Each structure stands twice: as C-alpha cells, then as structure tokens.
Amino acid sequence: MTPLDYDYLRKLLKERSGLVLSADKQYLVESRLVPVARKASLPNLSDLVAKLKSPAGAALASEVVDAMTTNETFFFRDKVPFDHFRNLIMPGLVAARAGSKRIRIWCAAASTGQEPYSLAMALREIMGKLSGWRVEIVATDISAEVLEKAKAGIYSQFEVQRGLPIQLLVKYFTQAGDTWQIAPEIRAMVSYRQLNLLQDFSKLGTFDLVFCRNVLIYFDQPTKTEALDRIAQVVAPDGFLVLGAAETVVGLTDAFKPVTDQRGLYQPNPASHKTSGPKTGSAGNVLKFAAAGAKR
C-alpha cells in the first residue's frame, strides 16, 4: 500500500466513522483490511483503494469501516458505570419519573450487545421496584455486522466469562454446545438499529440516560465536541450521560457537567441545556414491568 493509499483510507475512515489514525498506524490498517481485500477478490490493498474510489465502492466502504472500528466489549464492563446505574441513576430517575412511569435509555455504541444486555439484566433484577413502568432500551452501532450478533444474543464461553456474574449466567442464559444464548425476555428488552454518531440522530427522541462509552477516544477534539453537543440535545434536562473511563467532557463542551465524585458520570448543564424535556418517542421496544411480571 502506497502512502497515498494510506492517506485516502485515513480520510475515508475519518469522514465515515470519526476514527482518527496517526501516520504510524499503517500496519494496523494493513492487518485489518487485507482480509477485506481477499473477501472482495482483490489482490492487494492498492486495488482495494482503487475499488473504493469507483462508483461500485459504497458497499466495500462499509466493510472497511466495520473492519477498522473497534468492537471490544464485555458484560458489565468496568463495573463502576453499572454501580452508578443501580445505586444512583435508576433511583434518581424512578423518583423523577414517578408521574409518567417511563424511562428511555440509549446505548450509543452497542457493539455485540453486552452493554445493553447488562443494563437489561440489571433492570430485570429490580423489577419489583418497577412494577407498571415502561422502560425502553435503544441500542445503536455503526456496524451492521456486530448488530446482527447482538440481536441473536449468542456468546462463546470466553465471552460469558468476561464480567458476567455466574448467577446471572445461570439465570438468564441457555447453553447450547460451546455457546450460550441470552434469554428471549432479555433480548426483547433491547431494540437495535444501525446508526452513525456523525450523522443526525435527533429522530431517536429524547432519553433519560445515554451510555456512550469508549467511542470519543477515537475522535479528534472538534468531532468529540460536536458529538457531545448533539448528544446534549437528546438528553432530558435532568438525565444522565455515562462516558468511558478515559473520556471526559471537560475542555470539550459546557453542555454537560461532571457529577461530583462519580467517575464517568455527567448531567446536562442547566445554563446551556436547550431540550424541552423527556419524550417517550416511538423508537425501539418498550418493556412494561407489570405486577405479575415482578413475581420472579
């Protein structure tokens, strides 16, 4: 691959996914895109770039983005955000939404589903407190391929051993040979859709909680700021934003403010928030916690 080819790929990835690659990452691009070239029956990466530049390159461009975007994830990853979810976020939202009994959650980088399913299991564990509530989890990702795996909810032994407590594995998964499939009632709690965070997502409606973890680290500063400002427009004024451990809003935007002494947790800044309040929207599956369902 020539330097010009690499520059073209860097520009394409930045425009399509926000991914910023430094000049010394050519080895990474080559390792991930050689299989894509082979699958397309192209002898080398220069031919792959030539195909990308052609009118027939649109589908191939999607495969390139899929191959280059990182899909590292596991159940209850980093633990702290899920402690926040159980101990701070949900109690706060339940008190604030006592009148409507509706909560909307967005997982903005769902990958293969471990994060939204972790939230779904955590919710299922507190069903008794949510009798009669309607809770919606919308999960999005740029990659259609990983979303298909997420919808199926089938994981390897290695995947279920990463972060998933044994009691939840026994309670919510069924083993089939060397794989485990998450229970239908947990899968039904999550609605998946393909979405690029660089594009308009206002039609998703307004959310009470947004998990957007380990995505901003791949963006340059202007793209981070733009993404955060647009996320602020879909978070309820008293809602929450959860970022990854290595991410922050500080120095990027005043649309959010850190929650004191709670790592990775943010709330809209009243001085700059412009949304009109939470809406139920029509996107995604809605789970109703009925009284009968709470008797588990």
Phi, psi of 263 (to 5 degrees): -60, 130
Here the tokens at position 128 are 């008794």
Contacts 24+ apart (CB under 8 A), 85-93: 85/119, 85/122, 85/209, 85/242, 86/122, 86/126, 88/259, 88/262, 88/265, 89/209, 89/240, 89/242, 89/265, 90/123, 90/126, 92/238, 92/240, 93/208, 93/209, 93/239, 93/240
Q: Do 231 and 249 contact (CB within 8 A), yes or no?
A: no
C-alpha dihedral sign at 246, 250, 251, 257: positive
Phi, psi of 99 (to 5 degrees): -75, -45
Report the SS3 class of residue 180. Answer: strand
Catalytic residues: 32, 141
Report the SS3 class of residue 99. Answer: coil
